[in-house]
Chain A
Amino acid sequence: MKQVPDTHNVGKDAMKEDGTMNRAALPAIINPEDLNALEQALRIKDNYPNTQITVLTMGLPKAAEVLKEGLYRGADKGILLTDRKLGGSDTLATSYAIAQAIKNVGDYDMVLCGRQAIDGDTAQVGPQAAEKLSIPQITYAEEIENLTESSITVRRRLESGIETVKCPFPVLITVHGSAAACRTRNAKFYMKNKNDESKIITWGADDIKVEDDKVGKAGSPTTVKKIDSVVLQAKESKKLTDSDGDIDVLIKDLLSNHILG
């Protein structure tokens, strides 16, 4: 799960004068599709109560908030991966660190994650982590259709249709926003975990045995050459009101210029 700035509710003060993002003005939320993924995990646990759900996040120490939310909804434990060394990682370096953390957890059958995060929309970290873990991937999952001791059958949402696939464990699944919404906090889990920090473990780069040249800026093959603020070249536009006369002029203009037929 990832803590992201709420880019969908951008207020007027979200941009600084120089065109960069004023992160402080944006509320931090759990990446929406990560919640869809959590719900799928919780549904499996509903049916198989012995299932152990670990929620994992990488970010600033503050990102532990999303782990708490996971616990309030029914996860068993949380892992916060946080280290200065991991800062500045691009998707490849991030996926490496996450894969190392998952390996450090030990045995697992399934890794569930959101399809993409709203602050970048790349949808890369899931497949990249699956490759680092040398396990198959199922992207854009919408619903788990069947689950057995050894395999999972999943319906995928594609741009132009749907596909149902079956895969043995272990597998990494990225969950699409069209999957079921996540349940809300459970009062019992909330009371139990509110003041209990013991279920959240914090790991740094050394705990997950990363090679230094594979994380952070050094481990990131992409470099930002430059960032340009967008300067809109103002067109000479015709200003109109919503009066009948003005709308009539607009339509006549479009018709006479053959923009409308």
Chain B
Amino acid sequence: MNNLFVFCETENGVVADVSLELLSKGKKLAQTLGCKLEAVAVDYNLYNIGRQIYKYGVDVIHVADDRKLAPYQTLPTQKIICDLVKQEQPQIMLFGATSIGRDLAPRVASALRCGLTADCTSLEIGDHEEKKTTKDPQTGELTQTVTPYKDLLYQIRPAFGGNIIATILNLHTRPQMATVREGVMKKEVFDENYKGEIKKIDWQKSVTDLDFAVEIISRHIEKSKINLKAAPVIVAGGYGVGSKENFQLLHELADVLGGQVGASRAAVDAGFCEHERQIGQTGVTVRPKLYIACGISGQVQHRAGMQESSIIVSINTDENAPINAIADYVVTGDVATVLPKMIKYYKANSK
């Protein structure tokens, strides 16, 4: 009881990367807590799920496997999870911050009246002391009480558009719930030979016909052509690139270096670049060998998505841009001047 649960997102029975990443992180947290790691999957054709996820250290997989449950629908999935949570009483439950996770997790949290933190960039286990000062109504005497809490989930995320990081706790409600974007946690196999058990969920008990109110008429899912996570080199542009035309220079450099183009949120909002390329807390998290930041000031949300890159080059007209503090190379200059030169000297030197 009181184990750590991960909602396992699947498409045609295949577990999503973000879920594997969460299982990897979940295993570490579960070891710190001395509890089991359990996964929940709701889909059709899940017979292969054990082989996909046991190796991440999963002890129990709760499976609701039926044609009616695929593809993902909010209400049936929510009802199944809420009943499972009431029965199993997990202390922590993690969801991927995907189209599905962000549709499902708040609905579950609302039904269970639990706290939920979106887009965490870090999860840790730690203690807390709640201090309360109460005043005696008769004597007016102040007394301070301290309530200690052990082994809470620290839900850590940047907040308020800027340079602050908030640590958020759920003191009184369980499970402690959080969503995490794809790429934030590292996918790490725990033990190739690890073996857990499958528990079938008696899902018909939880779901009624009314829960199928939203009917899926059609669905077109395509694998994104842009794979930032796998790119060894990323040339990323910010608002400082100045225009959509200038972004073309980034594409040229990325092509020459065998990399991909990324963007900060400001550049995406300005319409310089498509949203799929956004890097940062609300976009993709990347760890390339080389990250070339062009005209990016470096808000904490952006840095959260790229600061683990091996080598960072910052090109900026502003010598004091915050991103320069984490850069290995700082080029003070205009993107439109520097990028053509980089292409020229790469071609000259790489032969």
Contact = CB atoms under 8 A, between A and B. Distances in A.
A119 B161 contact: yes
B246 interface: no
B333 A241 contact: yes
A127 B106 contact: yes
Contact of B219 (A126, A136, A163, A251): A163
A74 interface: no
A137 B350 contact: no
A224 B159 CA distance: 11
Interface residues of B, number: 90
Given A139-B102, A161-B221, A260-B257, A251 B113 contact: no
A92 B217 contact: no
B63 to A, nearest CB: 23
Interface stretch (B20-28, B29-37, B164-172, B194-202): B164-172
Contacts of A168: 213
A105 interface: no
A250 B327 contact: no
Contacts of A226: 166-167
A221 B106 CA distance: 13
A244 B311 CA distance: 21
A197 interface: no
B171 A166 contact: no
B290 interface: yes
Given A139-B103, A161-B219, A261-B258, A220 B167 contact: no
B349 interface: yes
A140 interface: yes
A196 interface: no
B137 interface: no
Contacts of B217: 153, 164-166
A242 interface: yes
Contact of B164 (A20, A158, A247): A20
Contact of A21 (B160, B258, B345): B160
B148 interface: no
B223 A10 contact: no
A260 B221 contact: no
Nearest to B126: A225
Contacts, number: 251
A235 B99 contact: no
A252 B349 contact: yes
SS class, residues of chain A in contact with chain B:
mixed
Interface string A217-258: 000111111111110111101111110101110111111010
A153 B94 CA distance: 31
Contacts of B349: 248, 251-252, 255
Interface stretch (B47-55, B83-91, B139-147, B318-326): B318-326
SS class, residues of chain B in contact with chain A:
mixed
Interface in A1-17: 5, 7-8, 10, 14-15
A129 B110 CA distance: 8
Contact of B332 (A7, A136, A166, A242): A242
A132 B110 contact: yes
Contact of A92 (B78, B113, B224): B113
Contact of A128 (B107, B214, B218, B330): B107
B215 to A, nearest CB: 5
A15 B105 CA distance: 32
Contact of B168 (A21, A167, A223, A239): A223
Contacts of B332: 239-242
Interface string B163-196: 1111111111100000000000000000000000
Given A14-B162, A242-B331, A223 B325 contact: no
A244 B331 CA distance: 12
B300 A225 contact: no
A188 B145 CA distance: 60
Interface in A127-184: 127-132, 136-140, 153, 158-168, 171
Contact of A123 (B118, B166, B169, B338): B118
Interface of A: 5, 7-8, 10, 14-15, 19-21, 90-92, 95, 118-132, 136-140, 153, 158-168, 171, 220-230, 232-235, 237-242, 244, 246-248, 250-255, 257, 259-261
Given A158-B221, A160-B222, A228-B164, 12 more contacts: A95-B106, A125-B106, A131-B110, A163-B219, A221-B172, A223-B170, A224-B168, A227-B159, A227-B167, A235-B328, A244-B345, A254-B313
10 contacts: A19-B164, A92-B110, A119-B160, A127-B103, A164-B219, A223-B168, A228-B164, A237-B330, A247-B341, A250-B342
